[in-house]
Amino acid sequence: MSKVSPEILLEKIKKYGLRVDPKVFKQACAFAKSAHQGQVRLSGEQYINHPLLTADTLIELRMDQATIIAGLLHDVPEDTDESIHEIKRHFGDEVAFLVEGVTKLGKIKYRGVEQYLENLRKMFVAMAADIRVILIRLADRMHNMSTLSSLRPDKQKRIALETLEIYAPIANRLGIGEIKGTLEDLAFQYVNPDEYTRVKKLFDQETDQQKDCYKEIKKKVRKELALESIKPIDIHGRTKHLYSLHKKLIQHDNDIKLIYDLTALRIIVNDIKDCYATLGIIHKLWRPLKGRIKDYIATPKPNGYQSIHTTVFCDNGTVVEFQIRDKKMHDLAEHGIAAHWQYSEQDKRSALPQKKLAWIDQLLNWQKKLHDNKKYLESLKIDAFQNRIFVFTPNGDVIDLPEDSTPVDFAYSIHTELGNQCAGAKINDKMSSLDSALKSGDLCEIIIDKKRTKPNRDWLKSIKTSNARYQIRTTIKK
């Protein structure tokens, strides 16, 4: 049972420099406590622990005052005699709006495709209205998952599955790496306990041997950085989450020796210039593995993640992955979209432009167009949760597409006409076929034939986006 109290939370708020009025915070704690008076969680703890720990996660994400207060009050209208009007009267419209949003999401249950879909749809509607509602829901789920063992086994499994299939992918899409990894690992134990135990044992055996070695490497890096007058803010090891290791093992024939990032050394420096300088220093010290240098600073991942990754052969043949980033990139990697609230106040050039959320509106539009639920589910899974790539237009605009998309997907996501008149494509200045799979960072130019009015039915075989599929089918039907 985690220890938590309003005082501990207030101390954190102060430490992180969040703009939260302590008076309002204490008032909300007292309000929630008296509303939940006498209620006990199945785990045996006082109910108030749950909203306090939900608020704790939101504080860790460095959220704004309204979100933290709404986190404290999120179960009040549903589970107690106090109404949303009382919340509005005491804490204002914004807090009441957020609490109501969380309540509307309701206690959704995982039962078959229809239900799953309805859950997802509700989540996206809430996200489109105010993304903070989902952040509260994720924080709520974090605590529920940590006390899952007190529920009935069938309930445990249902909630764990729902976490794996809905909550973790959403956290991932919002770039909140820490919550995504934790939720997945908590759920993994219930969804597949045998595999969890096996992977954990493998992981412990393998990383135990590496420990001393990492100490030496860290020392050496520090020394070399100092010689070049680079002052790192922090160097720390990060260990891989078990669920993501499980997925990687499946890809690599179960051979843990082929997985190079079980532990990675993370170097946080002051600015981008120092990131590249640090990469140079590491490559001067040790030989890099071919094909393992990834520059997500120049080409960020679609969820906004930035870092440089490189894997090198260290002394006595140990293979080590390094992740190099500056402070802002680090906050973004841990807190994802939540960093928006942290930075938008200090820095007008906010961390995440509004544009990044365009995909949520897109998904909702799809739902209006596709009446067939199964088709919608398929498109949701592909468009929202698959790995995404960035492809550039000749003007330098960036188009965000699912992995393995083709030039046809690219054309339709720019304009329907461009798709319909598509006659050929140049990828990185080379003529390429229309079914080629695009890669992140490619520059794609569509060659059009103005006389052409209808798309080619064959394109349906290779395209990946539901947008292109829908446009092609509708145009052919006309």
Residue 109 beta carbon to Mn ion: minimum distance, rounded to whole angstroms = 15
Least distance in angstroms from the C-beta of 50 to Mn ion: 6
The answer to whether the beta carbons of residues 325 and 300 sit under 8 Å apart is no
Q: Which is nearer to Mn ion, 140 or 178 (CB)?
A: 140
Binding site for Mn ion (CB under 5 A): 75, 140
CB of 187 to Mn ion, least distance (A): 17
**DSSP alpha helix (H) spans, 16-130:** 22-35, 49-60, 65-73, 76-79, 84-91, 93-105, 112-129
One-letter amino acid of 18 = L
Q: For 62, phi and psi rounded to 5 degrees?
A: 60, 45
Cα–Cα distance between 115 and 220 in angstroms, integer? 54
Query: Is the CB of 75 or the CB of 261 nearer to Mn ion?
Result: 75
CB of residue 161 to Mn ion, shortest distance in Å: 19
The pair of structure tokens assigned to 396 is: 């330098």
DSSP string, 394-413: TTS-EEEEETT--HHHHHHH
Which structure tokens are listed for 444? 């794609």
Of residues 64 and 140, the one with the C-beta less far from Mn ion: 140
> Which CB sits closer to Mn ion, 75 or 162?
75
Strands (E) across 327-462 are located at 388-392, 398-402, 422-427, 430-432, 444-448
Q: Considering the complex, state which of residue 155 and residue 309 has its C-beta at the smaller distance from Mn ion.
A: 155
Helix, strand, coil percentages (3-state) for the chain, rounded to 5, are: 60, 10, 30
**Largest separation between any pair of C-alpha atoms in the chain:** 74
Cα 197 to Cα 185: distance, rounded to the nearest angstrom: 11
Question: For residue 21, what are its two tokens?
Answer: 């009025």
H/E stretch holding 269 reads strand 263-269
Residue with smaller CB distance to Mn ion, 36 or 241: 36
Tokens in use for 461?
Answer: 């075989």
Q: Active site residue: 45, 60, 79, 100, which one?
A: 79
Shortest Å, Cβ 333 to Mn ion: 27
Q: Work out how close the CB of 102 gets to Mn ion at its nearest, in angstroms, rounded to a whole number.
A: 8
442 is catalytic: no
- Give the residue numbers annotated as catalytic, written as ranges: 78-79
